Structure 1
Amino acid sequence: MTETRAAEQGGADDSWSVWMAAAQDGDNRSYERLLREITPYIRALVRQQHRSPDRADDVVQEVLLSIHRVRHTYDPGRPFKQWLTAIARRRSIDAVRRRIRENAVEIDAPLAYETYADPDANKDARASEAAEEIASALDALSPGQRQALELLKLKEMSLKEAAAITGQSEGSLKVGVHRAIKSLRARLAREGER
Structure 2
Amino acid sequence: MARPPEMDDDLRWGDLLAAAQRGDAGAYRAFLAEIVPFARAVARRKGCAETLVEDVVQDSLLTIHRVRHTYEPGCRVKPWLATIVQRRAIDARRRQGRVARHEVSDPDAYETFADPEANRTEAAGSATAVQRMMTHLTPVQREAIELMKLNEMTLAEAAAESGQSVASLKVNVHRALKRLRRAFGPEGLS
Range into which the TM-score falls when normalised by the shorter chain = 0.5 to 0.7
Displacement of 1:62 in angstroms is: 0.2
Query: Displacement of 1:51 after TM fit?
Result: 4.8
1:168 matched to which residue of 2? Answer: none
Percentage of identical aligned residues = 45
d(CA) in 1 for partners of 2:48 and 2:74?
34
In 2 relative to 1, CA 58–111 (structure 1 residues): closer, same or farther, beyond 3 Å?
farther
Distance 1:38 1:12 in 2: 9
What is the match of residue 191 of structure 1?
Answer: none
1: CA distance between counterparts of 2:76 and 2:83?
11
Match of 1:36 among 11, 33, 38: 33
Tell me which residue corresponds to 1:59. Answer: 56
Gaps of 5+ in 2: 113-190
Asked if residue 103 in structure 1 is aligned to residue 100 in structure 2, the reply is yes
Question: Which structure has the larger Rg?
Answer: 2
Structure 1 alignment gaps of length 5 or more: 116-194
The TM-score, its normalising length taken from structure 1, stands at: 0.53
Quote how far apart the aligned CAs of 1:112 are: 3.2
Give CA-to-partner distance per residue, 1:99-124, whole Å, 9 cap, x none. Answer: 12222222233553258xxxxxxxxx
Counterpart CA distance in 2 for 1:27 and 1:90 is 27
Q: Find the residue that maps to 1:47 and give its secondary structure.
A: helix
Q: Is the 1:46–1:56 Cα contact (8 Å) retained in structure 2?
A: yes
Q: 1-side partners of 2:59 and 2:8: how far apart?
A: 26
TM-score between both structures, scaled by the size of structure 2: 0.54
1:81 to 59, 74, 78: 78
Structure 2 CA distance for partners of 1:112 and 1:41, relative to 1, 3 Å: same
What is the CA deviation profile of residues 61-81 of structure 1, one whole-angstrom value per residue up to 9, with x for unaligned ones? Answer: 000000000000000121100
**Partner Cα distance (1:20, 1:110) in 2:** 50
Change (3 A) 1:109 1:82: same
Are 2:8 and 1:8 equivalent residues in the alignment? no
Cα displacement string for residues 113-147 of structure 1 (whole angstroms, at most 9, x for unaligned residues) = 258xxxxxxxxxxxxxxxxxxxxxxxxxxxxxxxx
